[in-house]
Every structure is written in C-alpha cells, then in structure tokens.
C-alpha cells in the first residue's frame, strides 16, 4: 500500500485567487522541484521548515516567480520530504508548473498526502478522517467537532478503552498460561462487571455517534404537508433568522428540494418532498418512492398544516412515520381563531406571516442535536465506519460475557476479548486492508 515515490497536486481550489499552492511530497521531492527551480543548488541545501524565493523555469521558459516552503522528513505533514510551491493564483500558471513537474513525477490520488501521513504514523485514522471533515465543514459545530477529533480527542478516548480491554485480556491469558502454577484465580465476577462497564461505555459512544453524525452531516428534516399550507414560507422564516448555506447539490432529477441552513451553528438540511401523496401516475410514483426514501432517512419529519386537512389526509401523510420523529406544526395561526388553534394541542402553533412560533420550532429542532462543549470535546464517533466497528466490538464483548456465564473456559473468553480489541483498534486505525483504506481516502479531494 505504501509507496514513497514522489507525488504532486494542486492544494488550492481550482479557480483564480491571489495564490495557488502546489504540493510535492516523496523521497526525492526536493530534488524534483530543484529541476525546475532557480537557484536550484540553494533549494537543495535549504533546511527543513524554511522558505526560499526563486523562479520556476521549464525548458528555458520562465513560468513564474514563486516561494517554496521546504519540509524535511519526518517533519512534514506527510512525514516525507515535501515542498509547497506558492505561485501566482492563475490556473494557467499553476497548470504549467504542474505539467513541468509531471514530466518526472506523477499526480497524487485523492487523499494520498493524508494517507501517507497516516501510514507514516503522523496521525491515527480518526485524525486522518478529521482532516477531511475540517475541510468539508460548513458550520461552527461541525468545524469544532472535526478540530477536536483532529487534536486526537476520539483517539484518546478509544485508546483508553483499548488499554482497559487489554488489561482484562492479559489477566485471562495469564490464567490460561499458568493454569497449573500458583497464579491466584481470576475474580470472575469482577472481570464480568468490568466487561459490562466497558460495554456500557461503548454503547454510550454509539448513541453519541448518532449526534456526531448529525453534526457532521447535518440534521435531516423532511417537510411534508399539502401544497399551500406554508412549508416554504416557514423554511424561509427560519432562513431569515439564520444563515443559508449555499452549496450546489449535484443531481438534477430530484423529486424533492434540498436546502441547508446553519441553526445556532448546527447544520440542518431541509427536504421539501412535494407531491408525496398517493397517485396513479407511474412516473410520479417513482418520484414518490424516492421521496419516501428521503423521509425514511430523515431525523425529523415536519408535518405542516393550515387546519384544512381532513383526518384521512392527515393519516395519509403520517402513516408509517415513527412518532418520535414527527413534529407537527399548525401554520397560518394569524388566520385562525384562538379556539381553533387550541384544538391542535400537540402541534406547534406558527405563523410564517407574523413569525409567531418560529423560535419555538427552532428550539424543537435543536433539541435533538445540541451538545455541551464538554460532550463536543469528549471524542464522539462521527461516521458509520467508526460506529460499525464499535458495534462489532460490543458484540464480541457480549460473547465474552456469554463465555463466562456458560463456563466455557478461559480460552473462549480470551478469544472474544481479543476480537473486541481488534475492532476497537480498527476505529483508530490499525487497519492494513488496502481496499478499506482506499475507500476511506478516496473521499478526499486531490491535493489533500
Ligand atoms: P407550501 O406550498 O406549503 O410551500 O406553501 P407556501 O409557503 O408557498 O405558502 C402558500 C401561501 O400561503 C403563500 O401565499 C404564503 O404567503 C401563504 N402563507 C404561508 N404561511 C402563512 C401564514 O402563516 N399566514 C398567512 N396568512 N399566510 C401564509
């Protein structure tokens, strides 16, 4: 998996800016840049962590005046010799320098710089994933979470659990190895309760992983209800009090509109699933099944009515939706009498017109995601890879408990504990599987 050949990529976004940065990393990174840099001898002698000014010249042609930052192994992001060329911010200039470099070295794959940093032990896997999350973060909270993870909060938490698990395993293995000797017998009741404690903590991690995922990916909220009840108006009112996040969302044939906004620093994604109601039209039916999928994947469903829905219409809309996911809103209260509004006792009364109820709605949405600073920095699981590994660890711990309860012998318990350890190690990255690593790093952008 690990290659130390020299790679290069543009590290800044494609487009025009004040500067572009071209990254070069690998065992002969400095020599490769020196081939097109003047004064080249000076570059070759430049100490690590220092900056040198010069010209990029290829085939006798001046391409740009640049500043190179030189890093020498192991003191660089990747752990290899690296050079960052800061050139003028035109794509033409950056491309011409990249082409000149590519006469001798290859273009990096997405995430390859971070992959090398991970393989060189510069960071664990949760930190490597955090690098990407910091880049992709859209709100204050997703940025804080990613930065905490980058600083190693999750790594520290998982490492502590691995240490506890190892201690328990070693105890059991000692018992196997010195069965006939005078080693004092293990206190099985204590061992069992230690494993139970560990399991409980991991279960807590899985639950908070749900919050970590929501902070990272956004709280998914589907808006449902008849046309004209005021769904878009409510969304727009929330937008007015908060910040819209404008991102082009790929895919043109969508049967729902997706909008993002930052609510108190938390990312919320709204899906307007128009046309969700039963219809005979096949094309529309296809659209509906996709809308249903969106609804199923939502954290909250916002059912909006203006009081004109019949019982049947209401039942149609909410059938199959879990009760704890449903938030009901009675909108256009400005047009309703107080008496009519009180009939909707389990609804949030709102008026997109007068803005009444908008704050309460915001509060309801945030209930599910708000975390204290403490929780945020305690090291949360933030993606399904991590959550799945922890779930498997819990299963192995359950088997270990079973082996104790059923007097299966220390060998079985040791085996289960070892397996549990392996799953936890997978979270922080004792991963050697090439496919899995490629999968993780291929989500990165090129140049990272
Ligand atoms: P949607 O189809 O559910 O998205 O509904 P819209 O948000 O497009 O609203 C339909 C119409 O109802 C528009 O003319 C809005 O101005 C109006 N409307 C929305 N909310 C309110 C409200 O709270 N009070 C009043 N009086 N009109 C509203």
Centre of ligand 1 to C-alpha 267, Å, is 25
Q: Is the pLDDT of residue 432 over 50?
A: yes
Q: What does the alpha-carbon distance between residue 42 and residue 99 come to, in Å, rounded to a whole number? A: 23
pTM of the model: 0.67
Residue with tokens 């976004």: 13
Centre of ligand 1 to C-alpha 356, Å, is 14
* Interval 344-365: pLDDT, tens: 999 999 999 999 999 999 999 9
Pocket probe for ligand 1: among 224, 304, 352, the residue whose CB has the most ligand atoms within 8 Å is 352
**Which three-class secondary structure state does DSSP give residue 316?**
helix
Ligand 1, atom 25, lies closest to the CA of 332
Q: Is the pLDDT of residue 9 over 90?
A: yes
Centre of ligand 1 to C-alpha 352, Å, is 7
Centre of ligand 1 to C-alpha 215, Å, is 30
Ligand 1, atom 15, lies closest to the CA of 230
Paired with 70 in beta bridges are 50, 83
Q: Is the pLDDT of residue 219 over 80?
A: yes
Q: Which atom of ligand 1 is nearest to the CA of 304?
A: 3
Average pLDDT over residues 286-297: 69
Centre of ligand 1 to C-alpha 323, Å, is 26
The pLDDT value given to residue 139: 79
The pLDDT value given to residue 251: 37
Confidence of residue 439 (pLDDT cuts 50, 70, 90): low
* Percent of the residues in the chain that have a pLDDT greater than 90, as a whole number: 45
* Interval 305-319: pLDDT, tens: 999 998 888 988 888
Q: Which atom of ligand 1 is nearest to the CA of 235?
A: 7
Question: E-strand spans in 292-405?
Answer: 300-305, 326-330, 348-349
The pLDDT value given to residue 239: 80
Centre of ligand 1 to C-alpha 412, Å, is 64
Average pLDDT over residues 255-277: 76
Ligand 1, atom 18, lies closest to the CA of 230
Confidence of residue 184 (pLDDT cuts 50, 70, 90): low
Confidence of residue 280 (pLDDT cuts 50, 70, 90): very low
Q: What does the alpha-carbon distance between residue 153 and residue 140 come to, in Å, rounded to a whole number? A: 18
Average pLDDT over residues 407-422: 91
The pLDDT value given to residue 252: 35
* Interval 229-254: pLDDT, tens: 998 889 888 887 766 665 544 433 34
Q: What does the alpha-carbon distance between residue 294 and residue 315 come to, in Å, rounded to a whole number? A: 19
Ligand 1, atom 11, lies closest to the CA of 228
Ligand 1, atom 26, lies closest to the CA of 332
The pocket around ligand 1, CB under 6 angstroms, is made up of 225, 227-233, 331-332, 334-335, 351-353
* Interval 129-176: pLDDT, tens: 888 888 778 778 888 888 888 888 888 999 999 999 988 888 888 888
The pLDDT value given to residue 428: 85
Ligand 1, atom 20, lies closest to the CA of 230
Strand order in the sheet with 300-305: 243-245, 257-263, 266-272, 219-224, 300-305, 326-330, 348-349
| Alpha-carbon distances, residue 199 vs 35, 209, 369, 441 (angstroms) | 57, 15, 24, 30
The pLDDT value given to residue 293: 77
Q: What does the alpha-carbon distance between residue 393 and residue 399 come to, in Å, rounded to a whole number? A: 10
The pLDDT value given to residue 289: 60
């Amino acid at each position: 998996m690990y290659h130390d050949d020299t790679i290069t990529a543009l590290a800044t976004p494609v487009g025009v800016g004040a500067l572009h940065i071209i990254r070069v990393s690998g065992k002969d990174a400095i020599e490769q840049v020196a081939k097109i840099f003047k004064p080249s001898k000076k570059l070759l002698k430049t100490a690590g962590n220092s900056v040198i000014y010069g010209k990029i010249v290829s085939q006798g042609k001046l391409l740009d005046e640049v500043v190179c930052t030189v890093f020498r192994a192991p003191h660089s992001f990747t752990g290899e010799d690296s050079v960052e060329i800061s050139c003028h911010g035109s794509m033409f200039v950056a491309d011409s320098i990249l082409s000149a470099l590519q006469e001798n070295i290859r273009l990096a794959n997405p995430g390859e710089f971070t992959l090398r940093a991970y393989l060189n032990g510069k960071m664990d896997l949760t930190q490597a994933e955090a690098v990407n999350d910091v880049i992709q973060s859209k709100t204050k909270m997703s940025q804080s979470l990613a930065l905490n993870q980058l600083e190693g909060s999750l790594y520290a938490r998982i490492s502590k659990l691995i240490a506890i698990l190892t201690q328990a395993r070693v105890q059991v293995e000692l018992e196997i190895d010195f069965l006939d000797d005078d080693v004092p017998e293990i206190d099985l009741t204590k061992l069992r309760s230690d494993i139970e404690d560990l399991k409980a903590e991991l279960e807590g991690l899985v639950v908070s992983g749900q919050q970590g995922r929501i902070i990272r990916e956004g709280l998914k909220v589907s808006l449902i209800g008849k046309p004209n009840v005021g769904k878009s108006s409510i969304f727009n009112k929330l937008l007015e009090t908060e910040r819209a996040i404008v991102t082009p969302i790929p895919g043109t044939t969508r049967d729902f509109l997706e909008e993002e906004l930052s609510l108190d620093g938390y990312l919320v994604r709204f899906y307007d699933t128009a046309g969700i109601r039963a219809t005979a039209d096949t094309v529309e039916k296809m659209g509906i099944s996709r809308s249903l999928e969106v609804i199923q994947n939502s954290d909250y469903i916002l059912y909006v009515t203006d009081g004109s829905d019949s019982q049947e219409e209401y039942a149609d809309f909410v059938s199959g939706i879990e009760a704890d996911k449903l938030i009901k809103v009675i909108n256009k209260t400005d047009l309703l009498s107080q008496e009519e509004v009180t009939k909707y006792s389990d609804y949030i009364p709102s008026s997109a017109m007068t803005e009444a109820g908008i704050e309460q709605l915001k509060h309801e949405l945030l209930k599910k995601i708000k975390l204290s600073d403490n929780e945020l920095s305690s090291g949360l699981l933030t993606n399904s890879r991590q959550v799945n590994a922890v779930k498997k660890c819990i299963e192995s711990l359950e088997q270990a408990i079973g082996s104790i309860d059923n007097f299966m012998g220390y060998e079985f318990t040791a085996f289960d504990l070892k397996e549990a350890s392996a799953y936890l190690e997978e979270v922080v990255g004792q991963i050697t599987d090439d496919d899995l690593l490629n999968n993780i790093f291929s989500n990165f952008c090129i140049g990272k």
